[in-house]
């Protein structure tokens, strides 16, 4: 896809991978609609962009996905890419894990991601083009002890992505997912420390590493599809 003047919605744009992808796509000439709960972060990021809009909100609000599409259409006239990336992580032992936090994670990582995907693809089908890119994880196909619930949310993203990809083969609509290994972001901000030592990964990826891979997936010519990419630190053995 030629990215210049394309329009992309990015969920989870207020930090980490989403913010890095916003910066990278901005360099490629993409116009952006950014969302996340932390409005001040989005407003700061918007100042760096050539053409960006922000629509802050909680992605578990069922109205937000359609509002994002409408904002893209009103501001830029079209919507070509949805990077369905907002997510959270809850891990812990049977004794320690908080089941209410787990269920909130399921609402963000699964329910909200499914709603965003569904709204995006309905729009893409109405115009017969578009690219939906979901953020999965290395644990979209594997499991860690104490991480089964988080891995389950990402297995759900893998299944959704593959089902949509099959449904949309032979159309002009692409669906893919990115599977990052450990990336140094704020997703672990409530943990005692970033889990590089805990996971024995001393040199994690940076969000910009994933942004380059996202750009690579999006920039393929129309006849090429990359349904999934696993991108991990060199020292991640899992
Ligand atoms: N970091 C890793 O090692 C890693 C590895 C594999 C996959 N991933 C996945 O990568 C994606 C991005 O995470 P990240 O690592 O970049 O972490 P991050 O820096 O914490 O970014 C997460 C983003 O999701 C947004 N978000 C979370 N809950 C939300 C909610 N209820 N409503 C709206 N937005 C919400 C956050 O925005 P607000 O807080 O402002 O709402 C933030 O912009 C996630 O899907 C994550 O599962 C991360």
For residue 113, the domain's CATH number is 3.40.50.720
**Would you call 150 a catalytic residue per the annotation?**
yes
Distance 221 CA to ligand 1 centre (A): 29
Contact 199, 118 (CB under 8 A): no
- Give the model's pLDDT for residue 238: 82
- Give the model's pLDDT for residue 194: 95
Q: Which domain holds residue 134?
A: 7-231
- Ligand 1 atom with the smallest distance to the CA of 183 is 3
Looking at the chain, list the stretches that DSSP marks H as alpha helix, in order from N- to C-terminal side: 16-27, 39-48, 64-76, 99-106, 113-127, 148-168, 207-218
- Give the model's pLDDT for residue 138: 98
| 144 falls within a domain | yes
Indicate yes or no: pTM above 0.75: yes
> Which segments in the chain show pLDDT lower than 50?
none
- Give the model's pLDDT for residue 109: 98
Per the structure, how many domains does the chain have? 1
| 2 falls within a domain | no
């Amino acid at each position: 896809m030629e990215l210049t003047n394309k329009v992309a919605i990015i969920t989870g744009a207020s930090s980490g991978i989403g913010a890095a992808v916003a910066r990278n796509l901005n360099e490629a000439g993409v116009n952006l609609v950014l969302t996340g709960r932390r409005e001040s972060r989005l407003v700061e990021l918007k100042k760096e962009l050539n053409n960006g809009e922000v629509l802050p909100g909680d992605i578990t609000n069922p109205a937000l996905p359609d509002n994002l599409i409408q904002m893209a259409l009103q501001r830029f006239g079209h919507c070509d890419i949805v990077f369905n990336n907002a997510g959270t992580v809850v891990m812990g032992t049977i004794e320690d894990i908080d089941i209410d936090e787990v269920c909130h994670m399921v609402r963000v990582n699964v329910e909200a991601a499914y709603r965003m995907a569904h709204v995006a693809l309905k729009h893409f089908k109405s115009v017969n083009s578009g690219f939906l890119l979901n953020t999965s994880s290395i644990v979209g196909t594997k499991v860690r002890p104490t991480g089964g619930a988080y891995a389950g949310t990402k297995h759900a993203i893998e299944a959704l992505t593959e089902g949509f990809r099959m449904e949309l083969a032979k159309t002009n609509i692409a669906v893919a997912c990115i599977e990052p290994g450990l990336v140094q972001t704020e997703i672990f901000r409530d943990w005692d420390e970033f889990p590089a030592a805990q996971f024995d990964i001393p040199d994690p990826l940076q969000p910009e590493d994933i942004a380059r891979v996202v750009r690579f997936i999006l920039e393929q010519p129309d006849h090429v599809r990359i349904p999934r990419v696993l991108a991990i630190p060199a020292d991640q053995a899992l």
